[in-house]
Amino acid sequence: MISGINVQAGERVAPAFMLTLDGDDITQNFSDRLIGLTMTDNRGFEADQLDIELDDTDGLVELPPRGAKLTLWLGWQDSALLNKGSFTVDEIEHRGAPDTLTIRGRSADFRGTLNSRREQSWHDTTLGVIVETIAARNKLTASVADTLKAIRVPHIDQTQESDSAFLARLAERNGASVSVKYGKLLFLKAGSAVTASGKPIPQMTVERSDGDRHQFAIADREAYTGVTAKWLHTKDPKPQKQKVKLKRKPKVQHLRALQHPKATKTTAKAKAKKEQEAREGEYMARNSDNVLELTTIYTTKAQAMRAAQAKWDKLQRGVAEFSISLAIGRADLFPETPVAVKALSAL
């Protein structure tokens, strides 16, 4: 059962919240006027969103200034409230009749520097350094997964591209997810169910009786049986005589073993390969029946391999989807939490 709230038969269950504006508690100012409060905890580089709808039939609601900082705690009455983060007010909407006021805030201030276009070239660095640099100039604290921070980036250009778009591009080609939460810029391995420090996130169990509506779907992903990525060393002016093509054969070797730079056979050809990596080539994840070809030409073989694997993993994560509306909400759930589903009919 996913619900950890101890509710006795016939007992009244009511949600509770606390809201502060720039550090001042304004819960009592809003509680009598509150029509609805919705907090959307998004996965990936899409800011979390807070929507507060208030009754303004008397026209006396004071509008918070745009750019103000709202901090939210959620839970249930007679239980501890959990901090759900801070939100920057960036949208206010008034409608009627009847007159209502909607205050909308997001976890990242996209009115600021995160959404500003920049020109910068990154050379001979790592993912960790790039994320930390971008976090610092946007007044955020970087939190990068240990498995990602040491990945080398020989060269990449940020040309008329915002920091948010640039980070999303880096995340996509390296199999990561990027988000802004609690004043931190998180750069984590997508679907790994671990924190930035590498600690596993505890698994939750969901049963059908935990909610009143659910949806479970299995999609056919046979349309693509592989992913192809190409690379080209542009700094080496010597012509390439032969195009190198690497294909993964499922029955011979596991994909992850093939991916690893050290996973090569001890043959004469392997020793000769140490002299110089092929300047041009193509890497394929899975098999060649019907492949998805990535249009980007990467600068190194390692980058092409990571991009192909990241795209393949993303395709596989979409094979099955499950959603449920819980009868009793859980404020302690968040994206990337692993969930075991029980008591559902097999499809």
pLDDT the model gives residue 127: 93
**Distance between CA atoms of 51 and 54, rounded to whole angstroms?**
10
Count of beta carbons in the 10 Å neighbourhood of residue 53:
18
Pairing of strands 49-55, 184-189: unpaired
| Burial category of 51 from C-beta neighbours within 10 Å (exposed 0-12, middle 13-18, buried 19 and up) | middle
CATH of the structural domain 113-189, one choice from 3.55.50.10, 3.40.640.10, 1.10.10.10, 3.90.650.10? 3.55.50.10
| Burial category of 286 from C-beta neighbours within 10 Å (exposed 0-12, middle 13-18, buried 19 and up) | buried
Extents of the domains making up the chain: 15-106, 113-189, 226-261+277-317
Count of beta carbons in the 10 Å neighbourhood of residue 236:
12
**Distance between CA atoms of 328 and 122, rounded to whole angstroms?**
48
Give the residues across from 264 on adjacent strands: none
**Distance between CA atoms of 50 and 29, rounded to whole angstroms?**
17
pLDDT the model gives residue 85: 87
Rounded alpha-carbon distances, angstroms, from residue 131 to 141, 166, 197, 272: 10, 10, 15, 36
Buried b (16+ CB within 10 A) or exposed e, 181-211: beebbbbbbbebebebeeeeeeebebeeebb
Count of beta carbons in the 10 Å neighbourhood of residue 109:
21
Each of the 347 residues of the chain gets a pLDDT tens digit; together they read 555 555 555 566 788 999 999 889 999 888 889 999 999 988 766 778 999 999 999 988 888 888 899 999 999 888 889 999 889 898 999 998 899 999 999 886 666 688 889 999 999 999 999 999 999 999 889 989 888 989 999 889 999 999 989 999 999 888 888 888 777 888 888 777 776 666 788 888 888 788 778 887 777 655 677 788 887 766 664 433 323 333 444 443 333 333 444 444 445 454 444 444 555 555 555 555 677 888 888 877 888 888 888 888 777 776 777 888 888 888 888 777 888 877 666 54
pLDDT the model gives residue 275: 43
Q: Which two tokens stand for residue 196?
A: 């930035």
Count of beta carbons in the 10 Å neighbourhood of residue 301:
22
pLDDT the model gives residue 179: 83
